[in-house]
Amino acid sequence: MTGQAVNGAAVHSQILNAMTVDVEDYFHVEAFANVIDRADWASMPCRVEANTDRILAQFDAAGVKATLFTLGWVAERYPQIVRRIVAQGHELASHGYEHHRVDRQTPEAFASDVTRARALLEDIGGVAVLGYRAPTFSISARTPWAYDALAAAGYRYSSSVYPVKHDLYGSPNATRFPEKVAGGALWELPMTTIELGARRIPCSGGGFFRLLPYTIYRQGLRRFNVTEHRGGMFYTHPWELDPGQPRVKAPLRSRFRHYLNLHRTSPRLDRLLRDFAWGRVDQVYAAELAPELAPELAQGAT
């Protein structure tokens, strides 16, 4: 057993995992969608700039480059965030513009949203934006048209499917591994899960990273690296590093999900950055993306 554990540790330490951030503010989250009116977003105390700077500083201290799926609404108001992301060598990607769930939009509205977001981010950042992540992982079998819209808008990959069962999101029957969609024009890079018997267990960060003991998450990602011989996908949000953010009056369940263990996220993230090897999505998934993206990948994957 000792020899296996040592070999397993050696394997996972050499595998590059994808570090990602969904750049949005605390009032954008789905948990508060029924208690915060979109019309009030502009008047809410914004904390996204300082919180994004905080997480970028952690990446810099650890020598890690990441992919930041940035909301167009944020980029338009805080273009300096976008410029810092690019200047520091991270991959700039899109989280859409309005933070609408895909499955609550018409195909036409969705196409307009993702096209607007990509154009805005590229104009501010001065680099090609190749990746997209749907708010609340809301691409599923109910929205097959979404991939065609993303490909038509110029995206080359999506990271919008969480192949688990969850009350807010999830596609439990989706593949756990990268697959070509939109007739081969686009890659879907799903969030990481592990299998325990017949059950799929989330292993991508977010609320589960704050809920469970750190050692449990670490064991899960190690298991994925060793068992699947590939990198996993981790995600967090700038607001998850901000225990001092305003408290929103929302149902108990929503408040529990959002505010649980916020004070632990930053130190846990520091441990995670030390315990595994991390990189940008376009680097970690180069085997899938590089044949189509070789010229674009050269623009910053160093």
Q: Convert the pLDDT of each residue in 88-119 to its tens digit.
A: 999 999 999 999 999 999 999 999 999 999 99
Phi and psi based region of residue 65 (left: phi greater than 0; alpha: psi -120 to 50; beta: remaining):
beta
In order of start, what are the domains of the chain with their CATH numbers?
10-297 (3.20.20.370)
Contact (CB, 8 A) for 170 and 162:
yes
Residues 6+ apart with CB under 8 A from 102: 110, 134, 135, 138, 139, 143, 146, 160
Backbone angles phi, psi at 276, to 5 degrees: -135, 165
Residue 10, token pair as written in the block: 């050696």
Question: Which pLDDT score, from 0 to 100, does residue 3 have?
Answer: 33
> In angstroms, rounded to a whole number, what is the distance separating the alpha carbons of residues 275 and 222?
10
- Residue ranges, the chain, pLDDT below 50: 1-11, 294-295, 297-302
The model's pTM is 0.91
> In angstroms, rounded to a whole number, what is the distance separating the alpha carbons of residues 87 and 85?
6
Find the helix or strand (DSSP H, E) in which 194 lies.
strand 193-196
> In angstroms, rounded to a whole number, what is the distance separating the alpha carbons of residues 61 and 142?
42
> In angstroms, rounded to a whole number, what is the distance separating the alpha carbons of residues 218 and 213?
9
Find the helix or strand (DSSP H, E) in which 107 lies.
helix 107-125
Residues 190-223 have pLDDT tens digits of: 999 999 888 899 999 999 999 999 999 999 999 9
Question: Which pLDDT score, from 0 to 100, does residue 297 have?
Answer: 47
Question: Which pLDDT score, from 0 to 100, does residue 170 have?
Answer: 60
